[in-house]
Structure 1
Amino acid sequence: MAQLISSDCDVIIVNYNAGHLLAKCIGSLLPQLTGSIIVVDNASADDSLRLAEDLPAAGVLRIIRNTKNIGFAAACNVGARASLAKSLLFLNPDSTLEPGALRRMIEVLESADDIGMVGGMLCNPDGTEQPGGRRVFPTPGRAFMRAFGLSRLVKVFPKLFSDFLMHKEPLPKEPVAVEAISGACMLVKREAVADVGLWDDRYFLHCEDLDWCMRFGQKGYKIMFVPDAKVIHLWGACSRSRPIFVEWHKHYGMMRFYRKFFRHQYPRALWWLVAVGVLLRFGLVATHYSAKRAGRALGLGRDRCE
């Protein structure tokens, strides 16, 4: 066990106006760190970097300051290129690792040569499992069902209306192979990255993690979900200030993912139905957030942003 922990693992955190959450994230890493912490900042305008620099992390913390917001995937690549570590943990700044989580993930990553990627269990502050930490790929068919609410029929017709999120399924007792995990907490082997390639930086925000998981799988690497490596994730805490911007890139990213991997596998009619469904969903979400913003402007609510 001790030999595993001596392995060199750098943590890469992409920061954009995460406020005090960045320092909290780094603080959770310091007791279990096996390498360096590389913060890639996408031109934040808040005090997140100052708070991080006040931590007792001299010699461990490196900060790379981008002159503009280049997007999540591109910033991840900046961090990856700045590291020579044997393994890399990509971690969101609104996440904190529970004690022993990094050790456990490294143990699983190094347990077999064909394991290329590992993710922990993303939890809400109350300990319940979040969606996204373990999932199957959202094929156009599954996305169509989810966009139009048909996935709610999964209990009645499990084979016909399956969802791509697995958090409602029984929690496994041991690490299990899954199709995809979340970019909020993603541990990868350096040699696997050299084989698969870096993140696709044509995604600005969202779905780049699905893309990477797909490419890891295409190269024959297993992706493992580790239920006893717990990560507290304040879901959406870093995207509340610009919800429509975030939602646009989420929906755009999903369409790019479909075009890249499923364009030739489905009938054109289904492809257009999925595209319409995605655009309709974005329109509904944008209308919802616009109404909330108007309500706050009228004094009907309070804006909240980390």
Structure 2
Amino acid sequence: NLGLRAVGYEGGASPDALPRYALLLNPDTVLPPDALANTVAFMDAHPDVGILGPRLVREDGSLDRACRRSFPTPAVSFYRFSGLGRLFPKSPRFGRYNLTYLDEHVQADVDSVVGAFMLMRGEALEQAGLLDETFFMYGEDIDLCYRIKKRGWRVVYYPQVTVLHIKGAASRKASARAIMAFYDAMKIFHDKHYRAQTFFLVNWAIDLAIGGMKRWALWRDRMRPSGRKRVASA
């Protein structure tokens, strides 16, 4: 199993032959008939957009909050994992991780969309490169958005298209492995983009927190009956 990174690119673009657009699409998504036509039309009309992601909903109709995110800076991550984001979801400061203070039906420029459906401009990929193989299952989408935004491209959340995401279907059978990959991706992203400019005591605290959360999540997963295993969620 090469992870979602390789699955997403199977039969798709290579660094040597990038198309005008490339689509990263998970197998656990259900698209409306006009999804591709509408998203491509938007990209054609907005040549400064490097990545576009639609509104994703869960099977119960609720928003898949991972479909629009801010980059997990140390501050943004603290707001989320301390519970402040849950306590104050409408706060532009504390609700930044999943942008819960924004109307889910309104288009917005964001830091990152999710790799379950990510329409990418070939020119932007030529500049930023493809998905980083260091990540496994989680984190590669937000890392790519980071690199593309750093090169001046826009990343847009586009709720005019809604896609059903049967979240976890691709990793439900390997819950413990998915949990480990989820927390490992946090550390990889921090090490790659933030560690060098972060005070060493803050880095130490972040490493300790990620390790502690991973051990706690794995312990809780082991304690659950096999039919109720959970999958990590961004």
**TM-score, with structure 2 as normaliser:** 0.88
Unaligned runs of 5+ in 2: none
Deviations along 1:174-204, one digit per CA (max 9) or x if unpaired, are x321111001100011121111111111112
Q: Give distance in 2, aligned partners of 1:256 and 1:208.
A: 10
Partner in structure 1 of residue 38 of structure 2: 104
SS at match of 1:81: coil
Match of 1:208 in 2: 140
Deviation at 1:126, TM superposition (A): 3.4
Report the alpha carbon displacement of residue 147 of structure 1 after superposing the two structures with TM.
Answer: 2.4
SS of corresponding position for 2:136: coil
Which residue does the alignment assign to 1:123? 57
Q: Deviations over 1:241-273 (max 9, x none)?
A: 111101111111110101111113322222221
- After TM superposition, the structure 1 = structure 2 runs for residues 288-303 of structure 1, keeping only pairs within 5 Å, are 288-292=220-224, 295-296=225-226, 301=227
Question: Structure 1 167/236 Cα, relative in aligned 2: closer, same or farther at 3 Å?
Answer: farther
- Write the letter of the residue equivalent to 2:31: L
In the alignment, which residue of structure 2 is the partner of 1:222?
A: 154
- 1:196 aligns with 128
Quick one: distance in 2 between partners of 1:130 and 1:165?
10
**Higher Cα radius of gyration:** 1
Taking the aligned partners of 2:101 and 2:33, their CA distance within structure 1 comes to 25
> Measured at CA, do residues 167 and 96 of structure 1 come closer, stay the same or move farther in structure 2, by a change above 3 Å?
farther
The 5 A counterparts of 1:172-183 are: 172-173=105-106, 175-183=107-115
Aligned-residue offset at 1:230: 0.8
In structure 1, runs of 5+ residues without a counterpart are: 1-68
Partner amino acid for 2:80?
R
How far the C-alpha of 1:283 sits from its partner, in A, is: 1.1
Instruction: Map 1:1-306 to 2 at 5 A.
Output: 69-77=1-9, 79-81=12-14, 85-154=19-88, 158=91, 161-167=94-100, 169-173=102-106, 175-292=107-224, 295-296=225-226, 301=227
- Could you say if the C-alpha distance between residues 304 and 265 of structure 1 is closer, same or farther in structure 2, counting changes exceeding 3 Å? closer
Deviation at 1:144, TM superposition (A): 2.5
Q: 1:91 is matched by which residue type in structure 2?
A: L
Percent of matched pairs sharing the same residue? 29
Distance 1:302 1:186, change over 3 A: closer
Q: Secondary structure at the match of 1:166?
A: coil
Does structure 2 conserve the Cα–Cα contact (< 8 Å) formed by 1:129 and 1:167? Answer: no
Is contact 1:124–1:233 with CA below 8 Å preserved after alignment? yes
2:221 partner SS: helix
Q: For residue 218 of structure 1, what is the amino acid of its counterpart?
A: K
CA shift for structure 1 position 71: 2.4
Is the contact made by 1:144 and 1:277 (CA closer than 8 Å) also made in structure 2?
A: no
Deviation of 1:146 after TM superposition, in Å, equals 2.3
